[in-house]
Amino acid sequence: MGFPATRMRRLRRTATLRGMVRETRLAAEQLVLPLFACPGEGVARAVGSMPGVYQHSVDRLVAAAAEAFAAGVRGVLLFGLPERKDAEGSAAWDDDGIVQRALRALAREMPDLVKIADLCFCEYTDHGHCGVLRPPGNTEVDNDATLANLARQAVSLAKAGADVIAPSDMMDGRVAAVRAALDAAGQSEVPILSYAIKFASGFYGPFREAAESAPSFGDRRAYQMDPANGREAMREAALDVEEGADILMVKPALPYLDLLAGLRRRFDLPLAAYHVSGEYAMLKAAAERGWLDYDRVLMESLVAIRRAGADLIMTYGAVDAARLLAAGWRE
């Protein structure tokens, strides 16, 4: 009877040995926690479709960020629920807007926390789309008019204390417009994390509940990407690099790991991936029914995203994962 010349199982025998030869490592400082800022005081309103996720008033948001930081998470991604909405989303560039207030509070209380501000209008417009619509009766988003407003929002957020600006709107030319506006406003040191590859995905449903940002008509397929297109995704990313993006992001993460790996092969910039609301909610829902071990599948998912090439991972499970890592998590 013959024996295999190479025995792959030799290095898998014990947990310690597996750990010593592990190729991909996950660390808490690679995780970013999305947070939703809402008006009021003492508010922590649960999001029904995302167990463990809340809409927080600024005081409670600071407390949630401090809890995450204590667990080892070093960055947050901020979204805002404004007190008022209009056709342009003008509350987004109000210097006393909800995210601006959250940024100032976080900068005051947690100077070492990395504060990433999402740049978009879906939470701020009364129609729920990511920009200004063309004249009344037209449902198309006006690309160039939206760019001007994105620039105003970016400058306001940077002045309020954002460490990173993250345009997620998917307008053409937005990275160049934001870079020019930041530089002109004396904010040239603020980097841009571009949602370079953002698909028109069905995995965003729970987020729209959390951010109260569902469009009142139609959908966002005219500006977010077709999930079938990979070569187009690479062109999108290349344009953002040319326009001055400092970090590129893929959203959602798990269904598009092929594109994340493609970006890693092609670009030397830091890469991020957004483990989005639907991906998180599926794990939670299955775990609640006893179908999956939440801790295990969360960590497996995050390691897969890292293995594909992500340097940063935005995930609603950031604190859970950080605590598992601190406790010496091993598969």
Per-residue model confidence (pLDDT) at position 136? 65
Give the total residue count for the chain. Answer: 331
Task: For residue 208, count CB atoms less than 10 angstroms from its CB and return exposed for 0-12, middle for 13-18, buried for 19 or more.
Answer: middle
Q: Once rounded to an integer, what is the mean pLDDT over residues 299-307?
A: 98
Active site residues: 198, 251
Structure tokens, 140 = 């198309």
For the segment 43-73, what is each residue's pLDDT rounded down to a tens digit? 999 999 999 999 999 999 999 999 999 999 9
Q: Distance between terminal CA atoms of the chain? A: 34
Pick from 266, 210, 213, 257: nearest CA to 235:
266
For the segment 102-154, what is each residue's pLDDT rounded down to a tens digit? 999 999 999 999 999 999 988 899 888 888 898 766 778 899 999 999 999 99
Q: Which domains can be identified in the chain, with CATH numbers?
A: 25-326 (3.20.20.70)
State how far the Cα of 213 lies from the Cα of 222, in Å rounded to an integer: 17
Give me the residues paired with residue 167 across strands: 119
Per-residue model confidence (pLDDT) at position 209? 87
pTM: 0.94
Mean pLDDT estimate for the chain: 94
Stretch among 61-65, 166-170, 215-219, 244-248 having the lowest mean pLDDT: 215-219
